[in-house]
Structure 1
């Protein structure tokens, strides 16, 4: 019995001693970075931009692997079930780890139990767009206009259960207005109706919305980040009118649960260093993404928990589904 116990303790010690050694040699083969959305989309382009610089910092290669479907759930599930050896990472978003669990309770993964948080790497705010012939030139004026016309105004979204819809519902809840939802299959299809005045408001991304504003086809009233965005400094924050209002799409790295803390630290450090690179910052700005201060994995996990609770409340209170 004593010999068995000593052997077990010795084996455990060897495993513990081997973990730092494995981390020191990491990476010694390509790292699979799962992007749970289609190629050429914002998340994919972000992954490729950041991944290239992180490869330099890590001394290895991050290979983007697009696994779209089910609102990001297919790729996220693959990452959750991968071996926790550091050679499969996930670029998650608000959709996969904050909104997804609220909209789809029967996800094949648990966003807390099945993942190791690594780093918060970016945020993409949206802008509040209205037709140029709208009587409102400010957020306050639009709220007043909506209150004077309850049920007569509408808003467009990129579909049921999307962050575009949830952003509008968060706005409605905080502003105390009643506005009808008109879902589209993507904001690109909604923009012509917004320009023509068939739709009264749309919360769209900066890269797709601002060109219409600068060409005089639409009017932007505010940005959805808590403060003015450096990507569109001329726009006030909606939070200036509705204190605390915030809706951004965040991006973050995860690994499967059980990932070595040493590997987590290595990837986190590489992400921080890559985000500080001026070339990366410039490329991300063109995508409408503000580089995040990656911080610690613990800070990232706390941020996601707060964000998930906020969206769950909106989903429940406003009875939102993805049907």
Structure 2
């Protein structure tokens, strides 16, 4: 396992993040207490220290399981970088039991701290934008939590790029803490963040944490082999285009002699230099397969094949920039055409 700095901070995190949405059986599926403990043990043994959860995962059971794991005398809490989230509705007690507002933020964090059995959260995410709360209120509340010592760093998930940009700019103006990381759905089957979210993250030096980097298991090829799993037949992950991309992943995997998941995860990691895929696991063999992906570095020819088969339309202004000669790190053509005429 290698480590990288989270965003522009000095926090060292493993190059894979363990997603724990499947910890607990409250929803009728997932890893039980013993299984979850084994997965966290194995992840730590491999050098993994970055764990992702949320107050809403399995109705709080995910956080509770992690809290019980931390309560073990043999567990070094400070070894782990623990990320959790707030925003989504987690109970029916009051109208403010959801959303990005300060009241829900403070209430949610106190609940998470109790379930996790810890005095601090390493990384707190705004889980999803509610399109109601002023971003100024959000940034002030998050900075207050950092000043109180209850949160070390902040991040944001599933939010429009312009909102994230406004939040970081406002925080910079006020001398408050800025978002260190951005979490979005990103995979070979979901490349739309390349239009504005990833360029925005790059501009602010944010780490990118893709969720569903294997597209809910579709990119492992298991659905093409007859495993129905929990995916719906009408899912976009099973349409003609997705099947074509998955077959390309499987073909490249056969040439390397690795699992298709290794190819899909390697592609994600190689798209952005601050990329840390979130890999979920409810079974030990799933975790082992995900860890094997760290041994693979795709060569340029295979990267090109995957880029071409999964290519999306950038839309305006991305495609306009390309037509005008603007390329990554090269604005000469654009300058010649627009400035010089």
What TM-score do the two structures reach when normalised by structure 2? 0.28
What TM-score do the two structures reach when normalised by structure 1? 0.29
Higher relative contact order (CA 8 A, sep 6+): 1
Point out the structure with max Rg over C-alpha: 1
In proportion to residue count, which structure has more strand?
Answer: 1
